[in-house]
Amino acid sequence: MDHTLKLCVFFFFLLGLVNGSSAKSGFGQCHSVVRSWARSSLDEEMRAEDKHTLRDLLYFLHVPRTGGRTYFHCFLKKLYPNKLECPRSYDKLRFDPRKPKCRLLVTHDDYSMTSKLPRDRTSVVTILRDPVDRVFSTYEFSIEVAARFLVHPNLTSATKMTLRLSSKTRGVSTLDIWPWKYLVPWMREDLFARRDDRYSSGQNIIERNDSYDMEDFAMPLREYINHPVAMDVVHNGATFQVAGLTNNSYIAEAHEVRHCVQKYKTLGKYVLDVAKKRLDDMLYVGLTEEHRESATKFANVVGAQVISQLNAPNASLEITDNTERKSFSDSDPDSSEHKNSTSNRGVSEVTSSEGGEATKSNMTVGELMSAYEVCISNLRKIHSHRRVSSLKRISPVNFTKEARLQVPEEVLNEIRFLNDLDLELYEYARAIFYNRHKTLLNAEESWDISTSAYDLWRVVTLAITFAFFIFLYLLIVNVRRRTLKVKK
């Protein structure tokens, strides 16, 4: 008993300490900012009762490096005719959501995008991926795309060329799209600097065995994950995207909330509550890892409803705006880049014909699945071809499965630490995927978001103490009874 009391005193002491020191360093301010954001975000969510029904607009919240692009090309482009696709989906600057006569929006823009959409007529879908793999893939893709520029003699000429190209073609390139518009130029500059150093230093190049740590050729993974840019746009990226709090958010307060959560890890709880609620309300949540099951589920849940929606006799679409049609095939984030180099030109052509106009307005789910299978196997060939030809420019760096196994455990742990929110959200997404979330939710509900951390601690501590006393009491009573019985 004495022990419990001591424990309680210690708890309260600890709480006081946390509260006291935090007030000085802005924790109090941050706490109230984050909490009020969370409250209003949870309030604005509406009824979830018809969340299983596809609404007029399908919004694919594409978390980078989750494989969303194959869903876009191999499912959505086969389902929706081009004219129903919202103009320049991936391009925040030029998309005008005020008149969405369109039915499909696929974008890396975060959830705050829904503030510009007719919310009660919009269904949201997304795909999540294991956070460690997502960071690896982000690192690799940043370098892969940047390495394509190494065909140029120097950074100046590479940059000039890109500017000329983007003003000529009206398409959207990877460099216009968040987060690549930050990650690719950053890596491009870095790759050129390392190449210049190699050229000027002559022969003293150390070829290490580990592709993720070859500083003479590319930024080592460890340096990448600890860089401020990665902090801004990579880590916990899925959670921030679903919460609408990315560096690219439409909401003014998003940046303060995000900075607070990055500064005080305990506040992440509020962001997770919002993100989980939004996943709950989505029409579909897929998992990159469960590739086959996710695709089948997508075809049956989303595909089937799109087919019947677009074939409904009374589906009044009133599409009039055809002016920007030509650019639609370019909304793939990396199809339009570097078109001038021969290998990539070939790739772009295949990609756009691959993703071409939905041919049948009246396909079955089975037909959709077989079209998907063919499409994805072509797409995979194209991507791996493109990756090989791009990484050749920074050989001996080669990002393979075997090379990943060489990455030290400390680096993996660092990634996990930096992506704590994403790890929890991913577990939650898995639960949704396997329909296990009912029990999880119930456990979650006792955590009332409106109670402050302080109240929560107090309630929990009191409850534990109370339970302990009851237990003790019962134990004593029981023991007494027994001893009495024995005496009798």
Ligand X SMILES: *[C@@H]1O[C@H](CO)[C@@H](O)[C@H](O)[C@H]1NC(C)=O
Kindly state whether residue 402 participates in binding ligand X, applying the rule CB under 6 A. yes
Query: Partners of 123 in the beta sheet?
Result: 58
Residue tagged active-site, from 88, 134, 140, 148: 140
Pairing assessment for the beta strands 104-107 and 284-287 based on DSSP bridges: unpaired
Q: How big is the site for ligand X, counted in residues (CB under 6 A)? A: 26
Q: Is residue 157 involved in binding ligand X (CB under 6 A)?
A: yes
Give the one residue of 167, 200, 209, 359 binding ligand X; rule: CB under 6 A.
209
Kindly tell me which of 232 and 334 has the beta carbon lying closer to ligand X.
232
Host H or E run for residue 134: helix 131-147
Minimal CA–CA distance to 88: which of 336, 375, 350?
336
**Does 316 interact with ligand X (rule: CB under 6 A)?**
yes
Rounded Cα distance, 385 and 387, in Å: 5
Does 452 sit near ligand X (CB under 6 A)? no
Q: Is 119 considered catalytic here?
A: yes
Please report whether residue 232 would count as binding ligand X according to CB under 6 A: yes
Label residues 113-128 b or e (16+ Cβ within 10 Å = b). bbeebeeeebbbbbbb
| Residue 284 falls in which region: left (phi positive, over 0), alpha (psi -120 to 50) or beta | beta
**Which runs of E-coded beta strand occur in 23-95?**
57-61
Q: Shortest gap between Cβ of 236 and ligand X (angstroms)? A: 14
Give the binding range for ligand X (CB under 6 A) out of 60-68, 237-245, 298-306, 395-403: 395-403
Q: Single out the residue of 21, 40, 53, 154 in contact with ligand X (rule: CB under 6 A).
A: 154
Q: Which of 293, 315, 256 is nearest to 433 (CA)?
A: 293
Peptide bond between residue 179 and the one before it cis (omega within 30 degrees of 0): yes
Check residue 150 for interaction with ligand X (CB under 6 A): no
Nearer to ligand X, 314 or 446 (CB): 314
Nearer to ligand X, 16 or 396 (CB): 396
Determine if 359 is a binding residue for ligand X (CB under 6 A). no
Q: How many CB atoms lie within 10 A of CB 467?
A: 10
Query: Is residue 207 annotated as a catalytic residue, yes or no?
Result: no
> Please, which of residues 29-88 interact with ligand X by CB under 6 A?
none
Q: Which of residues 275-294 bind ligand X (CB under 6 A)?
A: none
Whichever of 132 and 233 has its CB closer to ligand X, that residue is 233
Report the C-alpha gap between 421 and 429 in whole angstroms: 12
Q: 316-319 contacts: CB < 8 A, separation 24 or more?
A: 317/84, 317/101, 317/103, 318/101, 319/83, 319/84, 319/101, 319/102
- The CA distances from residue 244 to 240, 254, 422, in Å, are 6, 7, 14
Instruction: Please say which residue, 233 or 358, places its beta carbon nearer to ligand X.
Output: 233
In whole angstroms, the minimum distance from the beta carbon of 273 to ligand X comes to 23
Q: Which is closer to ligand X, CB of 325 or CB of 392?
A: 392
**Identified catalytic residue from 119, 404, 430, 458:** 119
Residues making contact with ligand X (CB under 6 A):
153-154, 156-157, 182, 209, 228-229, 232-233, 247, 255, 311-312, 314-316, 340, 362, 388, 391-392, 395, 398, 400, 402
Residues carrying an active site annotation: 119, 140
